[in-house]
Amino acid sequence: RGCPLNHAIQRRVLALLYLLILYYILILTLGPSCSSLQFASVLSTMATGSTALALIVLAAFVLSMLPTSLAVTSPYVRPRSRATLSVPKDAGGQTPTQVHISTVGHDEMRVTWITEDDAPAVVEYGMTSGQYPFSATGTTTSYSYLALYRSGNIHDAVVGPLKPSTTYYYRCSSDPSREFSFRTPPASLPFTFVVVGDLGQTGWTKSTLQHIAAADYDMLLLPGDLSYADFLQPRWDSYGRLVEPLASARPWMVTEGNHEIERIPLLEPRAFKAYNARWRVPYDAGDSPSGSNLYYSFDVAGGMVHVVMLGSYAGFEAGTAQHEWLRGDLARIDRGRTPFVVALVHAPWYNSNKAHQGEGDDMRDAMEALLRAARVDAVFAGHVHAYERFTRVYGGMEDQCGPVYVTIGDGGNREGLADEYIDPQPKTSVFREASFGHGRLQVVNATHALWTWHRNDDDQPVVADQVWITSLASNPDCNNRAGAGAQA
């Protein structure tokens, strides 16, 4: 006490704290893709003299430490997008909000919800509205972000065993004010997936969700970029409220995108903090647990379809945990019992759009041979805000035993559409269009699945592209060692 040195240290600590807060505010103001020049310009208008110079130098240093995915300047000009939606909070206390479900194994469902106040992590459920003879108790967590935001109480509980193709009514935290219902997926074919990426929460998102809800389906698959919160944590809450009507009624199976990273060096060094807390996936269930919330797999339709959810932003090179897990996961598949195998990943491995060129190439180089050897039928990606379907491809060339590749990052994000393509169109690219929309994969039987892409750029769900996909397990040319191709 009274020591000048201590006061000097305190002033420096306070100055650093103020600078960190200022840095966070500027990130929120300019957005995660701001350049160091933009950052320095704003700082210079807020200070003068040597203080400004010091702040500019420090800002440039901090920005140089940011991941490249947070500082990419898009090489194209996006069309005008619709306004970002903000779904206001309409409940507090112990009332459950942001309810969503996901499958766990073949006969269980995870229910996740948030309450503002402390509440029991209990789900009560039954097959008749208002009657809940069964219950399951789960866990409660929460997280803080930059000491400026603290989440509500995030609860999840696994319910089951459940009957297939059955509607269950349920309530969370014993709250009588809100009853929800979901239908379990069928235990056999046919089975219908909705596939949509880069969803966000804009007017286009609302249109996409309305079109999805207008026709029945069994499960939604989302290959990354969910809320576009981009550090603003209340956007996660708004997103949860926006998708709740659909996500509480059918299982949503998701994987991460670059907008889920939300890592800030020194301030928030742990990536995927909000995503992992809010969207827990069944990475520890089934015969092939991955050990990571960033990649996993599961079966549907009584094992007739195997779905692999890959992580573009987890290690994927040979020798990494994800690579070794994928090798083992694919090796366990008996294609005599599982005629269809599909995979999802965020950054596309094939892409003729000028946006995000080459960003999935390293992962493709590391894993493509594994997928071909396992005769994966289709790979769905997001990231590029447009639609594109490729023919069966392997090694950059048409290959009858390679997967069909589809980019479907056009759910409705706030960044708009990527409407510039490389010309001439590659021979492997069958159909491409920069419009918002969603896709449906209906696995009809053990040999055929119908893929359709529904454009909603004109606010009407118009089928703009469709193709029948034949299971590679039924193709004799792909069922021998020579036809199956290289082993990785």
Ordered per-residue pLDDT tens for the chain, 488 residues: 334 334 444 444 444 554 555 555 444 444 444 433 343 333 333 333 334 333 433 443 343 333 333 322 223 333 456 677 767 777 778 999 999 999 999 999 999 999 999 999 999 999 999 999 999 999 999 999 999 999 999 999 999 999 999 999 999 999 999 999 999 999 999 999 999 999 999 999 999 999 999 999 999 999 999 999 999 999 999 999 999 999 999 999 999 999 999 999 999 999 999 999 999 999 999 899 999 999 999 999 999 999 999 999 999 999 999 999 999 999 999 999 999 999 999 999 999 999 999 999 999 999 999 999 999 999 999 999 999 999 999 999 999 999 999 999 999 999 999 999 999 999 999 999 999 999 999 999 999 999 999 998 666 778 999 999 999 999 999 986 434 444 33
**What residues contact residue 157 under an 8 Å CB cut-off, 6+ apart?**
110, 111, 121, 122, 123, 136, 137, 138, 139
d(CA 254, CA 263): 20
Taking the CB of residue 443, how many other CB atoms lie within 10 A of it?
A: 26
SS3 content of the chain, % helix, strand, coil (to 5): 25, 30, 45
**What residues contact residue 69 under an 8 Å CB cut-off, 6+ apart?**
258, 261, 313
DSSP 287: S
Write down the catalytic residue from 356, 383, 385, 438: 356
Q: Is 420 left (phi over 0), alpha (psi -120 to 50) or beta?
A: beta
First to last CA, the chain: 66
The upper half-sphere exposure of residue 74, i.e. CA atoms within 13 Å in the direction of its Cβ, equals 17
Taking the CB of residue 190, how many other CB atoms lie within 10 A of it?
A: 15
Of 32, 488, 33, 69, nearest to 313 (Cα)?
Answer: 69
d(CA 59, CA 20): 10
Domains in the chain: boundaries: 95-184, 187-478
Burial class (CB in 10 A: 0-12, 13-18, 19+), 36: middle
Which pLDDT belongs to residue 462?
86
> DSSP states of 298-359 as a string?
EEEGGGTEEEEE--TTS--STTSHHHHHHHHHHHT--TTT--EEEEEESS-SS--BSTTTTT
d(CA 289, CA 102): 16
Which pLDDT belongs to residue 242?
97
DSSP H or E stretch at residue 53: helix 49-65
Report how far apart, in Å, the C-alpha atoms of 237 and of each of 95, 149, 251, 411 are.
Answer: 14, 12, 19, 19
CATH class (in words) of the domain with range 187-478: alpha beta
d(CA 310, CA 379): 10
110 three-state secondary structure:
strand
**What residues contact residue 440 under an 8 Å CB cut-off, 6+ apart?**
192, 193, 194, 195, 215, 217, 450, 451, 452, 454
167-182 burial, b at 16+ Cβ within 10 Å, e below that, comes to ebbbbbbebeebebeb
User: Using CA of residue 355, residue 356, residue 358, residue 363, what is the dihedral sign?
Assistant: negative
Which pLDDT belongs to residue 40?
39
Which pLDDT belongs to residue 290?
98
Q: Which CATH number describes the domain made up of 95-184?
A: 2.60.40.380
d(CA 44, CA 347): 36
d(CA 249, CA 180): 7
In the numeric block, which tokens belong to residue 356?
């995000």
Of 410, 400, 467, 471, nearest to 435 (Cα)?
Answer: 410
Which pLDDT belongs to residue 88?
72
The answer to whether residue 383 is catalytic is: no
Of 60, 80, 82, nearest to 71 (Cα)?
Answer: 60
